[in-house]
Amino acid sequence: MAVLRAAKQTLRREIKRRVAAVSEEEKRRQSEVVSQLLLRHPKYVSAQRIAAFLSMKDEVCTREILSDVFKQGKSCFIPRYEGSGSSHMDMLKLHSMEDVETLPLTSWNIQQPADDDHSREEALSGGGLDLILMPGLGFDQQGRRLGRGKGFYDTYLERCIKHPKGKPYTIALAYKEQLCEEIPVDDNDVLIDEVLYEDHKSCAGK
């Protein structure tokens, strides 16, 4: 385990360096390409209940995607992460882009619904999810994903598998610079169905 952890940490540093070297203009350009690929994707088109993420500076920008989800009348859910060493995360419903703008900032400098906001539907307490858009630091063509080390998404996908609707389709959104030959994983790492990036040709590990 220690060897695997060390390998992941080394790769995280390497990918962060690679992405940091990409200009803001190039990130915007690739984000636009990836967004358009997703909006035409059959799994996105058919999905009614979608979990997305509010992108950070080193992630594909999801703003255009969120806007389209609302425009198409689909249900949009975003993560609320629990702090203090927990790997628990809920997917809570958003209602509009205006709703997004008013979300409070956490100590990690990301926006998410407040801890005392109990008015929002949690995806798994309702109809489950059709599609989850996956963030991450790195990905490979086999559907392996390198997260930030907290285990939020792997834990959440385990909960999805137990939901009557079953595991939703998972699509990672990536810059080309986030693609790796092989991501080191263990038994707790859940494979994702597909990685979308510029020059994307085919599905990842099914």
Q: Which residues are annotated as a binding site for ATP?
A: 8-12, 145-153
Binding site members for substrate: 54, 59
What is the amino acid identity at position 64?
A: E
Q: What is the DSSP string of the chain?
A: -HHHHHHHHHHHHHHHHHHHTS-HHHHHHHHHHHHHHHHT-HHHHH-SEEE-----TTS---HHHHHHHHHTT-EEEEEEE--TT---EEEEEE--HHHHHTPPB-TTS-B---TT---SPBGGGTT--SEEEE--SEE-TTS-EE--SS-HHHHHHHHHHHSTT-PPEEEEE--GGGB-S-----TTPPPPSEEE-TT--S----
Binding residues: 8-12, 54, 59, 145-153
CB half-sphere exposure, 55, CA atoms < 13 A: 20
Sign of torsion, CA 188 193 196 199?
positive
Dihedral of CA atoms 44, 45, 49, 55 in degrees, nearest 10, equals 40
